[in-house]
Amino acid sequence: MTQRYVVVDLETTGNSSKKGDRIIQFAAVVIEEDQIVEEFSTYIHPEQEISLFIEELTGISNETVKDAPIFEEVAEHIVSLLEGACFVAHNVLFDLSFLQEELTRCGYEPFYGSTLDTVELAKILKPTSDGYKLHQLAKEDHIEHLRPHQADSDAYATALLLLSFKEKLLSLPLMTLKQLYRLSFSLQSEVSELINDCMAVKLSKAEVHEPNLVTYRGLAFKKGKQGLEDNYQENEYPTDRQMKIKMLKAAFPEFESRFGQLQMMDVIYGSFESEQDAIIEAGTGIGKSLGYLLPAVYFAKKKQQPVVISTYTLQLQDQLLQKEIPKLKEILPFDFQAVLLKGRSNYLSLAKFERALREKDDHYESALTKMQIIVWLTETETGDRDELNLSSGGQLVWNRLQSDHFVYPGLKKPWIEMDFFEKAKRTAARADLIITNHAFLMTDLMTDDAILPKQGYIILDEAHHLEQAASKQFGRRLDYIFVKTFLNRLGTSEQKQLLYRLERIIANHGLEIERAKENLDGKLTDFAYEFEQLFVIIANQTNKLVKGIVPKRLAFKIEERIHWQRATLLAERLYDLLQSIVRLLGEKLDVLKQHEVSLGKNALFYVNDCEVILGHFIETKDILFEFFIQPREDYIYWLDCINTSMPNGVVLSAQPVLGSEELWNAYFGQQKSVIMTSATLSVKQSFQFFKTQLGIERKDIYTASFPSPFHYKEQVKVLVPRDIPDIQTLSIEEFAEASANYIIAGVQAAQGRTMVLFTSHEMLRAAYYTIKECGLLDDYTLFAQGISGGSKMRLLRNFQTFDKAVLFGTTSLWEGVDIPGEDLSCLMIVRLPFSPPDEPITEARCQLLAKKGKNAFSSYSLPEALLRFRQGFGRLIRTSSDRGVLVVLDRRVLTAKYGVEFQRALPPVEWQEVSINEMATVIEEWV
């Protein structure tokens, strides 16, 4: 590196220098000519107390700094270190702001040199990283970082990261560096100087051809893999059990034979052969994924036709592609191709991205996201957005760059061979296995130009989510932020946004618009104002109804529209405005499309963007009409309330109440064979509930249930407190307070390692804050869904990272969570998982059943709760060596008439009724 870099890290008494927090440790690592030449570190007496939280975080106590110098005593040396250097830090604004405050306080000049933020660099050069915390990046780069939150260790790790980033920049083609350099002036730190240094190095040498990259139209791309040579030579499916075991043991000597898994393979292969549908329940630990992948590949090769495997969650897709399919490739005596196929909007449009790079960009998020994508193009083979780690602002940029149906053929033509979605389709056509998701599968099956086989062979994993996926697919949402974003992007003819450019194109080409004198600008201005007012009214009214308790889902019933009269009147005015806007904007676009050939590429892109926005206006108009003016009887409407104090805190949602008979025939009736599988499909040893949900009326469908191979009696105890109050006699707050005592006792007995499952955010929050305020679990790290922040996966990672951790979760943590070993030893279910009867979707389904003369509780609410209970239990034991305790805090599991159904829903295990002290003793002894 031609410049002198000083990599700094500070530990402080808090996170705000402006509020009086002070430095307690300073560390610096000096880099010259790509070498670490000097290190300096010192504790600093902050002249104030260090809190217990900071002591636990950093390991620095009041005792540690007792004899340390105050900042004035080391300031001169720090100033000399920084003189003429570039100041580098991981989140540079934090460290620099503290240092500037201290320097100024001590009478020194602030630092005025260049800065470099390794967080910015990491986001650009590691666009697919799981996270950008220092310890995560250090782990990815195999950098030893033994003492996180100690300034000397952090500074040294950051210095090594900086050197690694320099190497990464030098490995990129010169054209890529030039693209990054042009965008880097919009960043917060002087990344441009580092890139410029690297360009100078590249220019001083003959550029080395990178065999794994190809260049096209000014961008560098990772060279795609060649298609597989088919070496399949009449390998017959191994019908004999011993043949399968021999094949599996040859690849994996430690393989344990599971009779249920081998049976499952035969059932699936036989069902495909006889073109029969099947429902298969595969218990935890049976090896379900391999159980269907192996017969699917054999059958696909034999038929020379792909088998489609559809999942509900991204997590399972990743597991199949990253773990199970590579494992299968080691097992089979022939090669095969498995590809992931998603909906079009998941892929980058290279035509749009090329155009976006030509735009003058001074917007931080836009520039950063484009830089991430430029680097990502040298690494990705798929162009799949899920590979990228984008911020919320970056996601908004992506929305403008994603592939869609609106791009004109003339704009796509130069990119047709490189286009990621087109490549995905071509690869899928040659594949043996196509991995996709339920949403894309059902959308594709209903289109005329389907990509997936119309009459084919399908395996539906996580099949219990099919009805939910179908309902969501036809659902609608009206999101304040989304509407405001596209409205601002369109602008008016005076705001130099899209509409301004559209008007310029019309004028420059001398085109005439029939209603040119009608004031589109005025209607857009009126719409923006009244749309804002609508959501203010909705937020205020919602706040009254939910009484400030959020997040919450609130039904929007036709018979209760009296509460929404003001909103309805405003929605009617907005609907009229939208009709005019759609008509006027549509007329302009129609005229321009008639002159498509003469417009030129740039003009066509602007027309293309306006067409997308026209589609958004039409969707907004339609949902306003349905929501407020003429609701459909076969739809349910509700409000998702996140923050009712702001207009952007409420989302309007609608989805159909699917009649079950519509679902199966519409989507899967024409397929040759459909296999539905999951760990939880049966209720009371019957698949009737599942079949009814999907509208499967045929009696000839094959069903099979392969139980888990685990020895649950030896691995699990189930405890029910005898002295906890009846949940139905208390308010949410009262029961949360009562249950908190048992949660605390259970957590202490298990030494953390506890997951607590709730059925509502409201009760979770009440219990969480009760426990936090009492202080009895201050020695433990508590993570709570919806409170602690972060995604589900981040919460799970954090829970597994800390030794004494507790995880409070709601709906999404009841399933799809795999925490093997001692990280999870105690599972607590606070309430039996019945859906709240006033929850809009549940209420609508129950009403539909009542109209058909059925008992909604026994035919819907109870079976659904039993399945959810089984799913929750399944989080506890993930391997044959796991041990754990399930604590059910809802005594209805023993006292209610239906309680025995919950007991029977679990595998044979020992149930004990215990006092709170006995509960703690059993947990201590068992785990």
Residues within the annotated binding site? 282-289
Cα(213)–Cα(377) distance, rounded to whole angstroms? Answer: 10
Pairing of strands 476-479, 5-12: unpaired
Residues 6+ apart with CB under 8 A from 676: 277, 278, 279, 280, 460, 463, 466, 690, 694
How many Å apart are CA 396 and CA 398, to the nearest integer? Answer: 5
Strands 702-706 and 278-282: parallel
One-letter amino acid identity for 677?
A: T
The DSSP symbol for 452 reads S
Sequence-ordered strand ranges (E) for 724-862 = 754-757, 781-784, 805-809, 826-829
d(CA 593, CA 420): 26
CA atoms of 579 and 591, how far apart (whole Å): 19
Cα–Cα distance for residue pair 320/317, rounded to 1 Å = 5
Residue 215 identity (one-letter amino acid): T
Contacts of 254 (CB under 8 A, 6+ apart): none
Give the integer Cα–Cα distance in Å for 60 and 149: 9
Of 364, 373, 397, the C-alpha closest to 186 is 364
Q: Could you please report the per-residue DSSP string of 634-694?
A: TEEEEEEES-TTSGGGEEEEEEE---HHHHHHHHHTT-SEEEEEES---BTTB-HHHHHHH
**Cα 55 to Cα 785: distance, rounded to the nearest angstrom:** 26
Q: Give the integer Cα–Cα distance in Å for 521 and 507.
A: 16
**Residues forming the annotated binding site for ATP?**
282-289
List Cα–Cα distances, 681 to 266, 693, 695, 766, 874, in angstroms: 20, 11, 15, 32, 13
Measure the CA–CA gap between 423 and 581, rounded to whole angstroms: 37
Q: Beta-carbon neighbour count of residue 30 at 10 Å?
A: 18
> What single-letter DSSP state applies at residue 348?
B
Question: Which of 732, 678, 727 lies closest to 705 in space, CA to CA?
Answer: 678
C-alpha span between 378 and 295 (Å, rounded)? 36
Question: By the 8 A CB rule, do 307 and 459 touch?
Answer: yes
Among candidates 615, 606, 550, which has minimal Cα distance to 578? 615
Q: Residue with structure tokens 């499967």?
A: 696
CA distances from 343 to 421, 440, 882 (A): 9, 6, 39
